[in-house]
Amino acid sequence: MGKGIMKEEKGEIVTIDGPSGVGKSSLSRQVATALGYTYLDTGAMYRAVGLFLRNLQVDLDDEQEVAAALAGFNLQLFPATEKDGDVGVVVNGQEVGRAIRTSEMGMLASRVSAIPTVRSQLTTMQQAIGLQGKIVAEGRDTGTVVFPSARWKFYLEADPSERARRRGAQLRAAGQGVDSQEVLEMIIKRDRDDQSRAIAPLQKADDAIVIDTSFLDIDEVCRKMLAVVQGK
Ligand code: DC
Protein backbone atom coordinates (compact mmCIF):
# COMPACT_ATOMS: atom_id res chain seq x y z
CA MET A 1 0.00 0.00 0.00
CA GLY A 2 1.45 3.37 -1.03
CA LYS A 3 2.18 6.09 1.48
CA GLY A 4 -0.44 8.38 -0.05
CA ILE A 5 -3.17 5.86 0.61
CA MET A 6 -2.06 5.33 4.20
CA LYS A 7 -2.25 9.07 4.73
CA GLU A 8 -5.71 9.17 3.21
CA GLU A 9 -6.87 6.31 5.43
CA LYS A 10 -5.47 7.98 8.50
CA GLY A 11 -7.53 10.95 7.25
CA GLU A 12 -8.77 13.51 9.68
CA ILE A 13 -11.36 11.30 11.31
CA VAL A 14 -12.39 11.37 14.95
CA THR A 15 -14.40 8.39 16.20
CA ILE A 16 -16.56 8.51 19.31
CA ASP A 17 -18.04 5.20 20.46
CA GLY A 18 -19.76 4.02 23.59
CA PRO A 19 -23.09 2.87 24.99
CA SER A 20 -26.28 4.89 24.87
CA GLY A 21 -26.77 7.91 27.10
CA VAL A 22 -23.06 8.49 27.58
CA GLY A 23 -23.11 11.92 25.92
CA LYS A 24 -21.85 10.86 22.48
CA SER A 25 -24.28 12.90 20.39
CA SER A 26 -23.86 16.20 22.23
CA LEU A 27 -20.10 15.74 22.32
CA SER A 28 -19.81 14.71 18.70
CA ARG A 29 -21.76 17.78 17.62
CA GLN A 30 -19.70 20.04 19.85
CA VAL A 31 -16.34 18.58 18.82
CA ALA A 32 -17.34 18.68 15.12
CA THR A 33 -18.43 22.32 15.40
CA ALA A 34 -15.21 23.33 17.19
CA LEU A 35 -13.04 21.60 14.57
CA GLY A 36 -15.16 22.61 11.57
CA TYR A 37 -15.67 18.89 10.77
CA THR A 38 -18.81 17.10 9.58
CA TYR A 39 -20.74 15.18 12.24
CA LEU A 40 -21.62 11.65 11.11
CA ASP A 41 -24.40 10.20 13.28
CA THR A 42 -24.25 6.48 12.44
CA GLY A 43 -26.96 5.66 14.99
CA ALA A 44 -29.40 7.82 13.01
CA MET A 45 -28.69 5.59 10.00
CA TYR A 46 -29.62 2.42 11.93
CA ARG A 47 -32.70 4.20 13.30
CA ALA A 48 -33.72 5.19 9.75
CA VAL A 49 -33.38 1.58 8.57
CA GLY A 50 -35.46 0.42 11.55
CA LEU A 51 -38.23 2.87 10.72
CA PHE A 52 -38.12 1.97 7.02
CA LEU A 53 -38.32 -1.79 7.65
CA ARG A 54 -41.05 -1.35 10.25
CA ASN A 55 -43.17 0.75 7.89
CA LEU A 56 -42.87 -1.99 5.28
CA GLN A 57 -43.69 -4.62 7.93
CA VAL A 58 -40.64 -6.61 6.94
CA ASP A 59 -39.99 -9.80 8.91
CA LEU A 60 -36.70 -8.97 10.65
CA ASP A 61 -35.92 -12.67 11.12
CA ASP A 62 -35.93 -13.19 7.36
CA GLU A 63 -32.63 -11.81 6.08
CA GLN A 64 -33.59 -12.28 2.43
CA GLU A 65 -36.72 -10.22 2.94
CA VAL A 66 -34.65 -7.56 4.69
CA ALA A 67 -32.11 -7.53 1.84
CA ALA A 68 -34.87 -7.25 -0.78
CA ALA A 69 -36.46 -4.34 1.10
CA LEU A 70 -33.10 -2.58 1.47
CA ALA A 71 -32.70 -2.54 -2.30
CA GLY A 72 -35.39 0.14 -2.20
CA PHE A 73 -33.83 2.10 0.66
CA ASN A 74 -32.32 5.45 -0.22
CA LEU A 75 -30.79 7.52 2.57
CA GLN A 76 -29.60 11.11 2.56
CA LEU A 77 -28.04 12.90 5.51
CA PHE A 78 -27.92 16.66 5.94
CA PRO A 79 -25.85 18.60 8.46
CA ALA A 80 -27.71 19.80 11.56
CA THR A 81 -29.12 23.25 10.96
CA GLU A 82 -28.96 24.57 14.53
CA LYS A 83 -26.17 24.23 17.10
CA ASP A 84 -28.01 21.60 19.11
CA GLY A 85 -30.05 20.17 16.26
CA ASP A 86 -30.02 16.61 14.98
CA VAL A 87 -28.69 15.77 11.54
CA GLY A 88 -31.39 15.79 8.87
CA VAL A 89 -32.33 12.27 7.79
CA VAL A 90 -34.21 11.78 4.54
CA VAL A 91 -35.42 8.33 3.51
CA ASN A 92 -36.63 7.93 -0.06
CA GLY A 93 -37.18 11.66 -0.34
CA GLN A 94 -39.03 12.03 2.98
CA GLU A 95 -37.60 13.79 6.03
CA VAL A 96 -38.00 11.44 9.03
CA GLY A 97 -37.50 14.15 11.66
CA ARG A 98 -38.13 13.23 15.31
CA ALA A 99 -39.85 9.95 14.40
CA ILE A 100 -36.52 8.10 14.74
CA ARG A 101 -35.57 9.68 18.07
CA THR A 102 -37.83 7.75 20.46
CA SER A 103 -36.65 5.00 22.87
CA GLU A 104 -38.64 2.47 20.86
CA MET A 105 -36.78 3.43 17.70
CA GLY A 106 -33.50 3.10 19.64
CA MET A 107 -34.45 -0.47 20.56
CA LEU A 108 -35.53 -1.22 16.99
CA ALA A 109 -32.29 0.28 15.63
CA SER A 110 -30.37 -2.00 17.97
CA ARG A 111 -32.36 -4.99 16.69
CA VAL A 112 -31.82 -4.24 12.98
CA SER A 113 -28.16 -3.37 13.60
CA ALA A 114 -27.48 -7.04 14.34
CA ILE A 115 -28.64 -8.10 10.84
CA PRO A 116 -25.52 -8.72 8.69
CA THR A 117 -26.88 -7.20 5.46
CA VAL A 118 -27.94 -4.02 7.28
CA ARG A 119 -24.52 -3.66 8.89
CA SER A 120 -22.57 -4.23 5.71
CA GLN A 121 -24.64 -1.75 3.69
CA LEU A 122 -24.49 0.99 6.30
CA THR A 123 -20.79 0.41 6.97
CA THR A 124 -20.08 0.83 3.24
CA MET A 125 -22.07 4.08 3.17
CA GLN A 126 -20.27 5.38 6.25
CA GLN A 127 -16.85 4.56 4.79
CA ALA A 128 -17.78 6.37 1.57
CA ILE A 129 -18.70 9.46 3.59
CA GLY A 130 -15.44 9.11 5.54
CA LEU A 131 -13.41 9.41 2.35
CA GLN A 132 -14.17 13.14 2.41
CA GLY A 133 -12.10 13.38 5.62
CA LYS A 134 -12.75 15.88 8.41
CA ILE A 135 -15.43 13.72 9.99
CA VAL A 136 -16.50 13.18 13.59
CA ALA A 137 -18.17 9.76 13.50
CA GLU A 138 -20.31 8.65 16.39
CA GLY A 139 -21.65 5.15 17.06
CA ARG A 140 -20.77 1.73 18.43
CA ASP A 141 -18.20 0.41 15.94
CA THR A 142 -16.80 3.53 14.28
CA GLY A 143 -13.32 3.10 15.82
CA THR A 144 -13.21 -0.69 15.51
CA VAL A 145 -14.86 -1.55 12.18
CA VAL A 146 -15.90 1.50 10.15
CA PHE A 147 -12.75 3.59 10.54
CA PRO A 148 -10.11 1.35 12.13
CA SER A 149 -7.38 3.73 10.91
CA ALA A 150 -9.00 6.89 12.28
CA ARG A 151 -6.44 9.28 13.69
CA TRP A 152 -8.29 10.00 16.94
CA LYS A 153 -10.49 7.49 18.71
CA PHE A 154 -12.49 7.97 21.87
CA TYR A 155 -14.53 5.51 23.86
CA LEU A 156 -16.95 7.06 26.33
CA GLU A 157 -18.44 5.28 29.29
CA ALA A 158 -20.57 6.23 32.30
CA ASP A 159 -22.50 4.62 35.08
CA PRO A 160 -25.81 3.12 33.77
CA SER A 161 -27.98 5.00 36.29
CA GLU A 162 -26.39 8.31 35.26
CA ARG A 163 -26.90 7.44 31.60
CA ALA A 164 -30.55 6.60 32.28
CA ARG A 165 -30.96 9.93 34.10
CA ARG A 166 -29.54 11.83 31.12
CA ARG A 167 -31.56 9.88 28.57
CA GLY A 168 -34.74 10.48 30.61
CA ALA A 169 -34.02 14.22 30.72
CA GLN A 170 -33.46 14.27 26.93
CA LEU A 171 -36.75 12.47 26.28
CA ARG A 172 -38.63 14.78 28.69
CA ALA A 173 -37.11 17.82 26.98
CA ALA A 174 -38.40 16.40 23.69
CA GLY A 175 -41.89 16.24 25.21
CA GLN A 176 -41.99 12.46 25.59
CA GLY A 177 -43.47 10.71 28.65
CA VAL A 178 -40.78 8.96 30.68
CA ASP A 179 -40.78 6.15 33.24
CA SER A 180 -37.28 6.32 34.80
CA GLN A 181 -37.16 2.62 35.71
CA GLU A 182 -38.17 1.68 32.18
CA VAL A 183 -35.49 3.94 30.70
CA LEU A 184 -32.85 2.25 32.88
CA GLU A 185 -34.04 -1.22 31.89
CA MET A 186 -33.99 -0.30 28.19
CA ILE A 187 -30.46 1.09 28.50
CA ILE A 188 -29.23 -2.07 30.20
CA LYS A 189 -30.90 -4.30 27.61
CA ARG A 190 -29.62 -2.23 24.68
CA ASP A 191 -26.04 -2.28 26.07
CA ARG A 192 -26.21 -6.03 26.50
CA ASP A 193 -27.58 -6.60 22.98
CA ASP A 194 -25.12 -4.17 21.36
CA GLN A 195 -22.16 -5.73 23.21
CA SER A 196 -23.09 -9.33 22.55
CA ARG A 197 -24.07 -9.33 18.88
CA ALA A 198 -21.93 -11.41 16.54
CA ILE A 199 -20.93 -8.66 14.10
CA ALA A 200 -19.26 -5.39 15.05
CA PRO A 201 -20.30 -5.47 18.70
CA LEU A 202 -19.90 -2.41 20.88
CA GLN A 203 -16.37 -2.57 22.20
CA LYS A 204 -13.46 -0.29 22.84
CA ALA A 205 -10.85 -0.12 20.07
CA ASP A 206 -7.42 -1.05 21.45
CA ASP A 207 -6.10 2.39 20.54
CA ALA A 208 -9.09 4.41 21.79
CA ILE A 209 -8.80 6.91 24.63
CA VAL A 210 -11.36 6.05 27.33
CA ILE A 211 -13.21 8.86 29.10
CA ASP A 212 -15.64 8.20 31.93
CA THR A 213 -18.24 10.95 31.64
CA SER A 214 -20.20 10.05 34.82
CA PHE A 215 -18.91 13.02 36.80
CA LEU A 216 -17.88 15.39 34.04
CA ASP A 217 -20.04 17.88 32.20
CA ILE A 218 -20.13 18.01 28.43
CA ASP A 219 -17.89 21.09 28.20
CA GLU A 220 -15.17 19.45 30.29
CA VAL A 221 -15.21 16.29 28.19
CA CYS A 222 -15.23 18.35 25.00
CA ARG A 223 -12.18 20.30 26.19
CA LYS A 224 -10.33 17.04 26.92
CA MET A 225 -11.13 15.66 23.48
CA LEU A 226 -10.15 18.84 21.67
CA ALA A 227 -6.89 18.95 23.59
CA VAL A 228 -6.06 15.50 22.22
CA VAL A 229 -7.10 16.26 18.64
CA GLN A 230 -5.41 19.65 18.56
CA GLY A 231 -2.33 18.22 20.26
CA LYS A 232 -2.39 20.57 23.25
O1 DC B 1 -26.55 5.90 19.03
P2 DC B 1 -28.04 5.55 18.86
O3 DC B 1 -28.77 5.42 20.17
O4 DC B 1 -28.74 6.44 17.91
O5 DC B 1 -27.99 4.07 18.19
C6 DC B 1 -29.14 3.29 18.03
C7 DC B 1 -28.76 1.83 17.88
O8 DC B 1 -28.13 1.63 16.60
C9 DC B 1 -27.77 1.27 18.89
O10 DC B 1 -28.39 0.75 20.05
C11 DC B 1 -27.05 0.18 18.13
C12 DC B 1 -27.12 0.64 16.71
N13 DC B 1 -25.85 1.21 16.24
C14 DC B 1 -24.88 0.32 15.84
O15 DC B 1 -25.08 -0.89 15.95
N16 DC B 1 -23.72 0.77 15.32
C17 DC B 1 -23.47 2.07 15.23
N18 DC B 1 -22.31 2.48 14.71
C19 DC B 1 -24.44 3.01 15.67
C20 DC B 1 -25.62 2.54 16.19
61-73 pLDDT, tens digit each: 999 999 999 999 9
Q: Summarize pLDDT for 84-97 with one digit per residue, the tens.
A: 678 899 999 999 98
Mean pLDDT value of segment 164-181: 88
Give distance in angstroms: CA of 31 to centre of ligand 1. Answer: 19
Measured in whole angstroms, the distance separating CA 118 from the mean position of its chain's CA atoms is 14
Identify the bridge partners of residue 154 per DSSP, sorted by sequence position. 16, 209
- Domains contained in the chain, number: 1
Q: Which of 24, 26, 46 to mutate to test the pocket of ligand 1 (most atoms within 8 A of CB)?
A: 46
Q: Which residue has its alpha carbon closest to ligand 1 atom 18?
A: 139
- Identify the helix (H) or strand (E) that includes residue 134: none
pLDDT range class, residue 178, cuts 50, 70, 90? confident
Q: Quick one: pLDDT at residue 1?
A: 33
15, β-bridge pairs: 137, 153
Alpha carbons 181 and 164: distance in angstroms, whole number: 8
pLDDT at 10: 56
Residue 190 beta carbon below 6 angstroms from any ligand 1 atom: yes
CATH number for the domain harbouring residue 159: 3.40.50.300
Mean pLDDT for 30-35 is 95
Mean pLDDT of 40-63: 97
Q: Which atom of ligand 1 is nearest to the CA of 114?
A: 15
Range of the domain at 186: 3-229
0.75 surpassed by pTM: yes
